[in-house]
Amino acid sequence: MKDKDIHNNILKSSCKIANDICLPDTEWPRVVIIGGGFAGLALVEKLKHKAIQVVLFDKNNFHQFQPLLYQVATSALEPDSIVFPFRKQISGYKNVLFRLAEVQEIQPSSNTIMTNKGSVSYDYLILATGTATNFFGMDTVAENGLGMKDIRDSLNIRHMMLQNLEQAAITCDDEERDALTNFVIVGGGPAGVEMAGALAEFCKYILPKDYPEYPSSIMNIYLIEANKELLSTMSDKASINTLKYLKNLNVKVLFNEVVSDYDSTIVSTKSGKTILAKNLIWTAGVKGQFPKGIDKKYVVKGNRIKTDPFLKVEGHKNIFAIGDIAALISEKTPKGHPQVAQTAIQQGKYLGNSILNIIQDKPIKPFKYKDKGALATVGKRKAVADLGKLEFVGYFAWLLWSIVHLMSISGFRNRLMVGFNWAVSYFTYEKSNRLIIRNFNKKEISKSTTNSQTTVKNSSH
């Protein structure tokens, strides 16, 4: 169907209050998508300009490019470089609607979702709600540390880091100065490794210029990993070279250590080690998050929703799950597919084709994941890449990482901004976004986070 026909169809329908939330009345099937992350947007792209009314719900009005959150956190990029408004994304899609609301409950018996703004009925419901930081029940760590799952987390980390460095220049207490300038990153996956590398380069190139009051050696960076290697899902070559790059940047890597407590000043591990630090960044785990209404018997480890091979939520005929929240358990994938952007994008595209076939009473095929490889960067000009049987490290891997990430960002302007910032940084190591815009207070953030846990939230991942 042509764009003009779709547009005319919507214009002919009268906009009315439908179950509290205003949506255009339509005779087309209504597909409701909860979550505008990689999976949700990939699905939208497949369903645009079709004879389907697509309604996208998200608690934010923007999509965020999560792989570069660490660069916002370390002052390399501004937040608007990696976020993109949903309404701008779908501005030319006449059959796609966006509603800013937090979905709180699903009522499968009546094909209805309940939000904080009202309710909406659906013909097909897709859960693409993503994940939240998993502190594994350690309340003190959750209260005093910071995760890195969305743009607000990145800005909190940035403000925490800059405020603590400023306070370190003021205090005359040597122990307090050490705590303020020590950074602990928990988790040796891609996010933890990239964060450690970026912080180490900040320490090496920015600290001496901005804070001549004390030597850059005062800033210690610890990376704590519970396993015996970094990047455990990648090749041995990638893991070994990543460790070498981090050591060259003076990052202290601790293996086989599990954090057990953090009181905002001292990090404790199960083996008895303690680290004095007022900066703890948690990248060690995630857990699925989704609205009430899905029976617990369909929820598996990691709080993920179990699906059949067609990504349909078990026990439901017209509810699907895609992206990080979905767990397609099989002999080949006993733990489900990896929770990475590539999986989410492939599942979004697959489900878009499947829904079109279902509506037209055509057969659908099971989902098959194609592993396109993994990338991780460890500072400038250093990265690791596993592309099938090919393994790259060093400068070439860094070029691949840069190209892939730059082309994956939504919007030409955003790509231009990121590319320009990278070019400047490449030649100067300059990070121009070292601004404390607002006062950061851990207790206020922790209180807000604790209160929000009383309501099930959606993620834009």
Catalytic residues: 194
Q: How many residues does the chain have?
A: 461
In angstroms, the CA 231 to CA 283 distance is 12
In angstroms, the CA 344 to CA 325 distance is 9
Phi-psi region of 296 (alpha: psi -120 to 50; beta: other; left: phi over 0): alpha
Q: What residue type is assigned to position 259 of the chain?
A: V
The gap from C-alpha 254 to its chain's centroid, in whole angstroms, comes to 25
User: What φ, ψ does residue 140 adopt, rounded to 5°?
Assistant: -65, -35
CB atoms within 10 A of CB 13: 15
Burial of 437 (0-12, 13-18, 19+ CB in 10 A): exposed
Cβ density class 301-332: b for 16+ within 10 Å, e for less: ebbbbbbbeebbbeebebbbbbbbbbbbbeee
State which H helix or E strand residue 182 sits in: strand 182-186
- Please give the DSSP secondary-structure letter assigned to residue 450: H
User: What φ, ψ does residue 20 adopt, rounded to 5°?
Assistant: 85, -35
User: Among 272, 264, 275, 355, which Cα is nearest to 312's?
Assistant: 355
Q: What residue type is assigned to position 423 of the chain?
A: A
Strands 131-133 vs 286-288: parallel, antiparallel or unpaired: antiparallel
User: What φ, ψ does residue 266 adopt, rounded to 5°?
Assistant: -120, 125
